[in-house]
Structure 1
Amino acid sequence: MEDLFSPFYSNGALLVLWGALLFHLILPFPREAHPAILWHKFAEQLADKVNVNTSYSQSMISGTLAWLLMLFPMLAVLVALKPLVWQPELFELAFLLLAIDWRNTDKFTAQFIAAIAREDKEQAKMLLKPIINRSTAPLSLLGLGKAGTETLIMSYGRNVVGVLFWYAIAGGIGAFIYRMSVELARAWSPSRQRFSPFGIPAVRAVAVLDFIPLRLFALFILFGHRAQTTVQLMKQQATSWPLPGPSWLLISVGGKLELSLGGPAIYDGHKAVRAKLGGRIAPSAIHIAHVQKTLAWRMFAWIVIQSLLMGLIYQGI
């Protein structure tokens, strides 16, 4: 029996992983108090200062330098601090806790489903507004259902699966840097004209970081009912979406549950043409609840499999 559990305590990485999940379950960070919110606001203030070039190439250079300025000094400080801490495991635990976030997504989803179920558009818009970049004012119930479903899928994909993947690769620092990179891409999203093309370098960086974890998670969702049909949809639709990781994830959920995702969206008063993904059913409250249940079970499977793989790797080491 001792040999069975030795991988879990012989290396602190697994203890940190499950400790972070347990602490987050008991005492999650409120969204308003999370460091990512402060980071997001600072990124917007920095962009106001340096995103002043009208030239495409100069704006790209400014965006690249701003991205480096935000991330590399923080990375250098965290790497330098790690050898100085008393317990490295506590250091890893702290930054994994700062990076992971599914409880706020659960809270948002429960409130959003209730608002959609009673057709309270104003409440649904109020819940969505601080989370997404697109304009919520013109959204109908159909548009709100799509936007809420996409938000739920991407929040679980990035704030849980992506964070855990990069924790396994690069520890707590890697998970935290990934989460902050996602927030930069969101703060400087080139979907909004004032950040185009300034935000393209940040979005491309996150696209690289997302590629493996989101596609692997899409395959987790793919298995089972309607797998063959969903694979066909991926072949047909994936190239029409600008980001490869999110495209697979959105199509896998939309195809499996036959939900219509994507489509045109309005950012700062300007209509963006986006491809339609998934199936043909407009997401309603019951469909969003089904999406959450599907993603939650797949995330649990991801956590179990990642834990087993980490245990085997560390045991081998």
Structure 2
Amino acid sequence: MNDLLVLLSQHPTLLAMWGALALHWLLPIPASIHPLLVWQQIAIELAARVNKATDTPRQRMLSGALAWSLMWMTILILLIAFYQLVWIDSLFHLVLLWIALGWRDSRRFSQHFIQAYSREDKASCKAQLSVALNRNTDTLSLLGLGKACAETQLLSYGRQVAAVLFWYAVAGGFGAILYRLAVSLARCWSPSRKQYQYFGLPAIRILAALDIVPLRLLAVAISVGKNSRDAFRGLREQGENWQLPGPGWLLTATGHKLQLALGGPAIYDTTKLERPRLGGRIAPAALHLSQIDRLLQQRLWAWVALQSVCMFLMGSLL
């Protein structure tokens, strides 16, 4: 037993990951006081000052790139400065990962929406999606609400759990929190909103680059198992059809594995955006949304186990 404790103590980053996961589930940060809420408010205020409608598209893109760099680099510098003051490195990484994780929030949204959807409570479904999406949900039918929820489940679990853990493995707590901040900026300044059509392009492009590896790994993990042949065939045929490469694989793999119809037209503000149709032909019902949630839960715990083994072995080799 003592030998095991000594061995584990030699892997502080791995222990910090487990500690952050435990803390995240046992002591979640209330949404009303979450540091990311302050970050988003600052991002909106900054955009209001520098994103001017009278500027040319090129100038607005440049303003977006400079604003993104200012916010992201400021946090990076502050983190580096604080890191010089900490006594226990692993505790610092634990806290950053704890803040970055959104597993419990994704799970809560999924459960609450499925309950409302099973009752065909369109008002409740629209209210929940309006918080999670940048899209107009007022005109969505029951079918549209189901498809929107499926996409939200996949991207929420993918970005707030799998990708956060991936970047934690790459760069510790710094990688986890900086990735999550990039996600927040892309959401606040989404180019799907008319006022951020050009200003938000740098933010969404940076996020797309950060998403490619972790979301595609999660898509492969989802594809493995039952109906894997259909899922991998779908990835070959439709994986590159989506606007963003990471989310495209995630939606395609799940759609083909469960034979669900995902994607299709969506309304952002008052503009109808024609998006590719992905997956099978079955319209998502409450049962299918539960299947997606269960599938993602299983794959994410497998992700944690596999990442733990990799981090343990890499730490031993180093």
TM norm structure 1: 0.97
Q: Which residue of structure 2 aligns with residue 81 of structure 1? A: 82
Q: Which amino acid aligns with 1:284?
A: A
CA distance in 1, matches of 2:176, 2:199: 25
Q: Which amino acid aligns with 1:32?
A: S
Q: Which residue of structure 1 aligns with residue 287 of structure 2? A: 286
Q: Does the C-alpha gap of structure 1 residues 236 and 54 become closer, same or farther in structure 2, counting only changes over 3 Å?
A: farther
Alignment check: 8 A CA contact 1:184 1:202 kept: yes
Please state how far the C-alpha of 1:6 moved relative to its aligned partner: 4.8
CA distance in 2, matches of 1:160, 1:6: 29
CA distance in 2, matches of 1:50, 1:232: 45
Structure 1 stretches of at least 4 aligned residues deviating more than 4 Å after TM superposition: 1-7
* Percent identity over paired residues: 47
Please state how far the C-alpha of 1:210 moved relative to its aligned partner: 0.7
Q: Which amino acid aligns with 2:290?
A: A
Please state how far the C-alpha of 1:2 moved relative to its aligned partner: 5.6
Q: Which amino acid aligns with 2:82?
A: L
Which stretch shifts more, 100-109 or 49-58? 49-58
Q: Does the C-alpha gap of structure 1 residues 33 and 278 become closer, same or farther in structure 2, counting only changes over 3 Å?
A: farther
Alignment check: 8 A CA contact 1:215 1:249 kept: yes
Which stretch shifts more, 31-40 or 195-204? 31-40
Query: Which digits, 9 at most, give the CA deviation of each residue in 1:186-213, with x for residues without a partner?
Result: 1111111211111111011111111111
Any stretches of 5+ residues in structure 1 without a counterpart?
none
Q: Which amino acid aligns with 2:196?
A: F
Q: Which residue of structure 2 aligns with residue 24 of structure 1? A: 24
Question: What secondary structure, in the 3-state scheme, does the structure 1 residue paired with 2:120 have?
Answer: coil
Query: Which digits, 9 at most, give the CA deviation of each residue in 1:229-262, with x for residues without a partner?
Result: 2222222222221111111111111111111111
Alignment check: 8 A CA contact 1:7 1:315 kept: no
* Mapping for residues 130-169 of structure 1, pairs under 5 Å: 130-169=131-170
Q: Which residue of structure 2 aligns with residue 55 of structure 1? A: 56
Q: Which amino acid aligns with 1:242?
A: Q
CA distance in 1, matches of 2:191, 2:84: 38
Please state how far the C-alpha of 1:38 moved relative to its aligned partner: 2.0
Q: Does the C-alpha gap of structure 1 residues 281 and 7 become closer, same or farther in structure 2, counting only changes over 3 Å?
A: farther
Alignment check: 8 A CA contact 1:7 1:314 kept: no
Please state how far the C-alpha of 1:7 moved relative to its aligned partner: 4.3
CA distance in 2, matches of 1:202, 1:8: 39
Matched, 1:33 2:33: yes
Any stretches of 5+ residues in structure 2 without a counterpart?
none
* Mapping for residues 1-317 of structure 1, pairs under 5 Å: 6-52=6-52, 53-317=54-318
Please state how far the C-alpha of 1:11 moved relative to its aligned partner: 2.1
CA distance in 2, matches of 1:6, 1:219: 35
Q: Which amino acid aligns with 2:297?
A: A
Question: What secondary structure, in the 3-state scheme, does the structure 1 residue paired with 2:311 have?
Answer: helix
Q: Which amino acid aligns with 2:19?
A: G
Q: Which amino acid aligns with 1:216?
A: L
Please state how far the C-alpha of 1:71 moved relative to its aligned partner: 0.3
How large is the RMSD of aligned CA atoms in angstroms? Answer: 1.3
CA distance in 2, matches of 1:278, 1:7: 45
Matched length: 317
Alignment check: 8 A CA contact 1:218 1:252 kept: yes
Alignment check: 8 A CA contact 2:240 2:249 kept: no
Please state how far the C-alpha of 1:180 moved relative to its aligned partner: 0.5
Q: Which amino acid aligns with 1:190?
A: P
Question: What secondary structure, in the 3-state scheme, does the structure 2 residue paired with 1:239 have?
Answer: coil
